[in-house]
Structure 1
Amino acid sequence: MQRATCGHDRAGRHDNAASARRRQAGFTLVELMVVITVIGLASAAAVLAMPGPRGRLVDEGARFATRVRAARDAAIVGGRPVSVWVTPGGYGFDERRGGQWVALPDKPFRVAQWGEGTQALLPERVRITFDTTGMADRPIVVPLRRDRTRVAVTIAADGDARVDG
């Protein structure tokens, strides 16, 4: 009986041992290139989806300005003064009840901390009060900083709030 050589039997078919060795040899170059391409595309999408520090700070300022406008509207609708207080670390909203400032319980008016790395450049706590007509007791500029990026939220005497910078 003649033995098969080079992984083939007498009929020229591959024997199982040679096929198994070839399957265990690893990935082909094409398979590796496909995986590298997929990883590269996923990484590019992740980097493009990440906002820059300026965008995050502007978004945070816009969120604050929107909540300030909502507080002004709450003063008008509720028929009682509403205030916004701002500290270097965050802000909150109060309404006047029984001669005292009481925190507004509604979700959009809960106390909020500035996002990580964001700080209001104020020496101390500042309070702005909206009367029942929506007018602020005084205009104020709240400068915000994150790293080297700065924006300012301006609250005008008419109660409007906007992001500048």
Structure 2
Amino acid sequence: MIVITVIGLASAAAVLAMPDPRGRLVDEGARFAVRVRAAHDAAVINGRPVSVWVTPAGYGFDERRAGQWIALAEKPLRVSQWGEGTQAIIGERARVTFDSTGMADRVLTVPLRRDRTRITVTIGADGSAQVDG
């Protein structure tokens, strides 16, 4: 009986120590922040406004061409869904636009949640993106 109890406790400890197969939420936030920074850089390099949009389910990037917003399709700026169980805690849709000098039209804070874990990604007016977790 004692052996079975020890095996049960060891099994429970092993399961609790296993990493989440979805990855860490902070890593997902960091991936988003790096892509935001790539959008900032694309606006400066191409001399055209680039926007980042965020919804509860995912995010994407558009470039302003000939008076219209055109979705960017090349990596790393294509539309992405948040990972399984992750949700941005915002309204329907939020957008930040970087001008050709890299300045953002506003500051945006994107709270991310998965289960009981929460982090925020803040896009600054200077085009920076910072993860706070």
What range is the shorter-chain TM-score in? 0.7 to 0.9
The structure whose RCO (Cα within 8 Å, separation 6+) is larger is 2
Q: How many residues align?
A: 121
TM-score by length of 2: 0.84
Unpaired segments of 5 or more residues in structure 2?
1-9
| CA–CA separation in structure 2 for the residues paired with 1:95 and 1:49 | 41
Structure 2 counterpart SS, 1:108:
coil
Corresponding position: 1:129 with 2:108:
no
| CA–CA separation in structure 2 for the residues paired with 1:112 and 1:119 | 12
Paired residue for 2:69, among 92, 101, 108?
Answer: 101
| CA–CA separation in structure 2 for the residues paired with 1:47 and 1:66 | 30
Q: Kindly provide the CA deviation profile for residues 131-154 of structure 1, in whole angstroms up to 9, marking residues without a partner as x.
A: 001100000100000011100000
TM-score by length of 1: 0.68
Structure number with the higher helix fraction is: 1
By how many angstroms is 1:105 displaced? Answer: 2.1
Q: Is the 8 A contact 2:73 2:79 kept in 1?
A: no
| CA–CA separation in structure 2 for the residues paired with 1:132 and 1:59 | 29
| Higher alpha-carbon Rg | 1
Identity across the alignment (%)? 71
After the TM superposition, which segments of 4 or more aligned residues of structure 1 sit over 4 Å from their partners?
A: 46-49
Unpaired segments of 5 or more residues in structure 1?
1-39
Corresponding position: 1:50 with 2:19:
yes
